[in-house]
């Protein structure tokens, strides 16, 4: 029995060492996965909308990079769309606090031509928020989000929306599209 115990102790230590090594590797793999770009895409009719983040996890001092993209994939060589200031707008929900961050966009009409199979893209820009019916604590968080230099720590569900009109055969048709992703700021 003593001989068996002598063999089990080193085997147990070896098992613990290997378990710790594997856990460390899983942690490194999780960090490496978080450093890859995150892409969400939706197709609706003759259009694709895409939201791209440089990575899934950011540090509090990092600049969160988000790109909105729109592509026409129809049969015509190009199509002209009409939209607000931008064809894109965002719904941002901070999950851990349960706070919706308002997105403000001017309403003047703009027109642009999209070439077939060519992405139109814009960088995300944080915009000032309107005062809502949120509590004081939520308002303080919204202010820190819109006025601070970086996203505050949290888990964010970001929905990219696009709505615009096209004229085809003398008829004005509205297109509404959305896609989204989740990212974390630690």
Per residue in 136-162, pLDDT tens? 788 899 988 988 889 999 999 999 999
Q: Are residues 43 and 124 in the same domain?
A: yes
Q: Are residues 175 and 128 in the same domain?
A: yes
Q: Are residues 89 and 131 in the same domain?
A: yes
Least confident window among 19-28, 34-43, 81-90: 19-28
- pLDDT, one tens digit per residue, over 57-80 is 999 999 999 999 999 999 999 999
| pLDDT confidence bin for 98, thresholds 50/70/90 | very high
Chain Cα centroid distance, residue 32: 18
Q: Are residues 45 and 19 in the same domain?
A: no
CATH code assigned at 52: 2.60.40.2360
pTM of the model: 0.78
Q: Are residues 74 and 136 in the same domain?
A: yes
17: containing domain = 1-34
């Amino acid at each position: 029995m003593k001989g068996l115990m002598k063999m089990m102790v080193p085997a147990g230590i070896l098992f613990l060492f290997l378990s710790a090594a594997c856990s460390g590797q899983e942690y490194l793999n999780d960090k490496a996965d978080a450093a890859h770009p995150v892409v969400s895409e939706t197709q609706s009719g003759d259009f694709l909308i895409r939201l791209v983040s440089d990575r899934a996890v950011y540090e509090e001092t990092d600049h969160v990079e988000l790109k909105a993209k729109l592509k026409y994939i129809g049969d015509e060589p190009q199509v002209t769309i009409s939209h607000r200031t931008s064809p894109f707008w965002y719904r941002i929900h901070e999950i851990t606090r349960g706070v919706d961050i308002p997105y403000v966009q001017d309403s003047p009409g703009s027109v642009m031509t999209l070439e077939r199979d060519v992405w139109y893209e814009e960088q995300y820009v944080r915009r000032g928020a309107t005062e809502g019916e949120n509590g004081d604590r939520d308002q303080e968080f919204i202010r820190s989000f819109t006025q601070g230099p970086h996203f505050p720590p949290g888990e964010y569900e970001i929905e990219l929306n696009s709505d615009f009109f096209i004229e085809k055969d003398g008829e004005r048709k509205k297109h509404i599209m959305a896609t989204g992703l989740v990212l974390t700021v630690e």
